Amino acid sequence: MKPFMRLFRIVHGLMAILFACAAIMLIIIAARIGGVAFIGGLDRAAAQGIIEAVGLLAAAVVALQIAETIFEEEIIRDADISASTRVRRFLSRFFVVIIVALAIEGLVATFRAMHEDPAQLPYAASILVAVGILLAAWGLFIHLNRSAEELEPEAMADAKKEDRKLK
């Protein structure tokens, strides 16, 4: 079984590297778009370029955070995701990134729709509504999961021990 676990750690490591590479490429593209927009002048087209760059940076943050989460959880900690404490912590990290990125994307879509095609505003609004629903669902998940953690205090102690690997 150990060779399979080692293989899984290698695959997780490769995935983390690919997510980090994607984040770096998105940052480079966003910098290029932002630079072109800035050099092009201070007009509506420049604002749209900057807004597009912000959307790309939000996607880069998501990719980088996913890479970091995979690396920390699967490689450094070699964590067992079966405990409710570990699941809550893992999903919380993931949800924070996704919710923030979707909120930024919703704002970018709103600005773009307002300036280019107002008929697209309902679609932009639906992204922001989805963000609100995800945020509420995440809060409910944390509330319900905390109750489960109280039944398993040893799982919280184990999770805190794993955190020491990061220091």
Q: Are 60 and 30 in contact (CB under 8 A)?
A: yes
Single pTM value for the model: 0.74
Tens digit of each residue's pLDDT (9 = 90 or more) over 94-118: 888 889 888 988 988 898 888 888 9
CA proximity to 60, closest of 88, 3, 19: 19
Q: Enumerate the domain spans of the chain.
A: 1-78, 81-167
19-42: per-residue pLDDT in tens?
999 999 999 999 999 999 989 888
